[in-house]
Structure 1
Amino acid sequence: MTNRETVIDLASFQAGLTVQDYKNIGATKAIVKISENTNYVNPCIRSLIDRSVGGGVNGFAFYHFGRFYNDSAAVAEANYFIANAKRYANVQPGTLLILDAEIKGMPTSSVIAFLQTLRNAGYHTGFYTYKFLLPQFNLEEIHKYANFFWLAAYPLGDQPGPRVPDFNYFPSANYVDCWQHTDNLLGYKVDGSITLTDNAIKLFNPSEVKAEASKPVVKPQGTPKSFYDDLGVCWYFEKGKFTVTVDEGIVLRWGATTNSSKIGVLPKGSVVKYDAFCHSGGYVWIRQPRGNGQFGYLPTGESSGGKRTSTWGKFE
């Protein structure tokens, strides 16, 4: 029997959800919006990933809201999707990338052109639409180019939807891997879906996507010497240099967690200029400005109870 898992899809509308909200929702998989057309990128990608990971999500896929009406525009949007998924979510080959097709008049040939572009770039492909739009598409043809079919069908209204839907309302259609059964899961104003096949669960590969630290939201604490990031970690402003002294070197990451993706390993003798530090996850981290509003994060030793217990380098 297929294991049913709760899936949520996340866009900027869900930017206000907290780690505790995600824990209350209880989803294990998430599909994060990357882009729309060729002129919009979701500004909350990293914070949505970070917070949902903190709330129990352990696998991700990503989607693009299609606005195209011909094949050439479809290819352009697919390439825009790929580029921004790489840039903001560090997607790797084999990641599930999904087309959100919910505008009228989108040709089946253009859907296929979009999916082919994703597949040619090494990604698993997914197709999403609403039950009432399904007749405008040739699903049999699309299925040849899609690894995953996600179908939305739910009653209108503001009533909170349950975590486990009433399958008496399941829409009859072929190839459905995931059913979006509510647009207001448990009252949190987030779309809720449920997996229907083992194929769906397999495609949400948790090893391919790591939580990234988003830009910190500055919250003055009487003085401007500290701030909290999106995960509620308190950082302290401090400028300095750190020299790695351990023989094995230290991994520099895109976020201040050991799950964050690697930038590279800094060998012994490397010098890092930093502008802030924090105690988080059993380590003392420093933040390295890297230009264009980006930061690298380096653990510099172990921490317990807000106090350093070891150091892997020299400060100056």
Structure 2
Amino acid sequence: MPIYAVDVFSGSSDNIIRDNHAQAVIVKATQGTGYVNPRCNHQWDLAGELGKLRGLYHYAGGGNPETEAEYFINNIKNYVGKGILALDWEEAENAAWYDTNWARRFVNKVHELTGVWPIIYVQESALWQVANCADTCGVWVAKYASMTWYSWTLPNMSVSSGAFKFLTGYQFTGGDMDRDIFFLDKNGWMKLANPSGGQVEVKPSTPAPKPVEPVQPKSWTDSLGDKWTEENGTFTTNQVINLRWGAKTSSALIAQLPAGSEVKYDAYSRHDGYVWLRQPRGNNEYGYLVCRDANTNEPFGTFK
């Protein structure tokens, strides 16, 4: 029988952990090399008190992968072997996004330190970035039927496992909570957590740096109520895209950009079904264009 689960972070309500549908709880432990979830121990203990299977994940910051792996394990070493380990590979706040060898180096280091292979959480459209981990790791894929899917009923949609032989887990909602299904039983879960079945010995590594608050990118809310985050980059279109005077599909048109157009941008916003980019144009004026479908995460070009 499959296992239904939730994954939580510092801002998650305890009610999510207590949800009777969830048989397992995966807790965010660390991010980069400067953040430890201050509620990690509480969330881990609460899940255990409720008799639920457990796991811990590290959110990739995109720094040195071996150093991040050491930081993760140093901060959870007392829990290794008691729950599955996972790498959260996402674009936001990840300086190594598109680096196809980063996850491989991270999981290798975790395995070196613990004897455990982490599973890898990734959106379906980015499976190619972690494909070289398919020989040793399980994959936990995120794909939503809707960004407002508030249900424990699995959506009727296909989900790829990419280079991996099969899906280990599938995150099928965001919205009010991250709902997941894992295609294994309790024994399979614990086999991922502790492959040897014996006492897990964590090898010593370099001392973990003292936790500090990560530097957050500047963000703001505009006059229309849309939140923007500062980010500098270049977006190259792979299709015709409208450049507008505002970040709305109803805003006046500046130009139609043909496929292959390069746009330098300084901020992004996720709203109204799209991810929008802001293009500085001089004289304190800006152009705006869509770069991604916010529901499926399908990009309309490439980033650098």
Is TM-score (shorter-chain normalized) higher than 0.5? yes
Q: How does 1:266-305 map to 2 (within 5 A)?
A: none
2:62·2:97 contact (CA, 8 Å) conserved in 1? Answer: no
CA–CA distance in structure 1, aligned partners of residues 173 and 31 of structure 2: 22
The residue aligned with 1:193 is 180
| Partner residue in 2 for 1:224 | none
Residue 181 (1) aligns with residue 211 (2): no
| Amino acid of the structure 2 residue aligned with 1:144 | D
- Paired residue for 2:123? 130
The alignment status of 1:61 with 2:48, answered yes or no, reads no
CA distance in 2, matches of 1:117, 1:177: 21
Letter aligned with residue 61 of structure 1: G
Match of 1:145 in 2: 136
Calculate the TM-score normalised by the size of structure 2. Answer: 0.55
Aligned residue number for residue 6 of structure 1: 4
Match of 1:160 among 150, 157, 170: 150
Partner of 1:17 in structure 2?
14
Taking only aligned residues, the RMSD between alpha carbons, in angstroms, comes to 2.7
Aligned partners of 2:11 and 2:2: how far apart in 1? 26
Offset at residue 94 of structure 1 (A): 7.5
Question: What code does the residue aligned with 1:190 have?
Answer: M
Does the 8 Å contact 1:108/1:142 carry over to 2?
Answer: no
For residue 176 of structure 1, report the CA deviation from its aligned partner.
1.1
C-alpha spacing 1:92/1:53, structure 2 compared with 1 (3 Å): closer
Equivalent-residue separation in structure 1 for 2:123 and 2:181 (angstroms) = 15
Cα gap change, 1:24 to 1:113, in 2 (>3 Å)? closer
CA distance in 2, matches of 1:208, 1:46: 21
Q: How far apart in 2 are the matches of 1:208 and 1:97?
A: 16
Which structure 1 residue ranges, 5 or more long, are not aligned?
A: 210-316
- Work out whether residues 112 and 145 of structure 1, in 8 Å CA contact, stay in contact via their aligned partners in 2: no
Residue in 2 that maps onto 1:42: 37
Contact 1:33 1:42 (C-alpha < 8 Å) held by counterparts = yes
Q: Deviations over 1:224-272 (max 9, x none)?
A: xxxxxxxxxxxxxxxxxxxxxxxxxxxxxxxxxxxxxxxxxxxxxxxxx
Change (3 A) 1:207 1:30: farther
* Aligned mates of 2:190, 2:143 — CA distance in 1: 20
Distance 1:157 1:143, change over 3 A: closer
Query: Given residue 117 of structure 2, which amino acid in structure 1 is its aligned partner?
Result: H
Query: Which consecutive unaligned segments of at least 5 residues does structure 2 have?
Result: 201-304
Q: Which among 79, 100, 107 is matched to residue 108 of structure 1?
A: 100
Match of 1:263 in 2: none
CA contact under 8 A between 1:75 and 1:114: conserved in structure 2? yes
Give the AA of the match of 1:124: W
How many residues of Structure 1 are paired with residues of Structure 2 in the alignment? Answer: 188
Q: Choose the corresponding residue for 2:66, options 75, 92, 98.
A: 75
Moved over 4 A (4+): 204-209
Matched, 1:84 2:75: yes
> Using the alignment, how far apart are the partners of 1:67 and 1:111 within structure 2?
11
Match of residue 291 from structure 1: none
- Check 1:24–1:127 CA distance in 2 against 1; reply closer, same or farther (3 A cut): closer
Whichever residue aligns with residue 67 of structure 1, its letter is: G
- Assess, with a 3 A threshold, how the Cα gap between structure 1 residues 204 and 192 changes in structure 2: closer, same or farther: farther
Identity %: 24
2:107–2:118 contact (8 Å) kept in structure 1: yes
The residue number in structure 1 matching 2:24 is: 29
Alignment partners' CA distance in 1, 2:51 and 2:150: 21
Match for residue 235 of structure 1?
none
Indicate conservation of the 8 Å contact 1:60/1:204, yes or no. no
Secondary structure of the structure 1 residue equivalent to 2:101: helix
CA shift, 1:190, in A, is: 2.0
1:197–1:50 distance in 2 versus 1, CA, 3 Å? closer
> Would the aligned equivalents of 1:161 and 1:183 in 2 still touch at CA under 8 Å?
no
Q: What TM-score, normalized by structure 1, do the two folds share?
A: 0.53
Question: What is the Cα deviation at residue 208 of structure 1?
Answer: 8.7
Confirm or deny: 8 A CA contact 1:101 1:127 kept in the other structure.
Answer: yes
Question: 1:81-119 CA deviation, whole Å, 9 max, x = no partner?
Answer: 011112xxx223575321111127342222111000000
After TM superposition, give the deviation of residue 56 of structure 1 in Å.
4.1
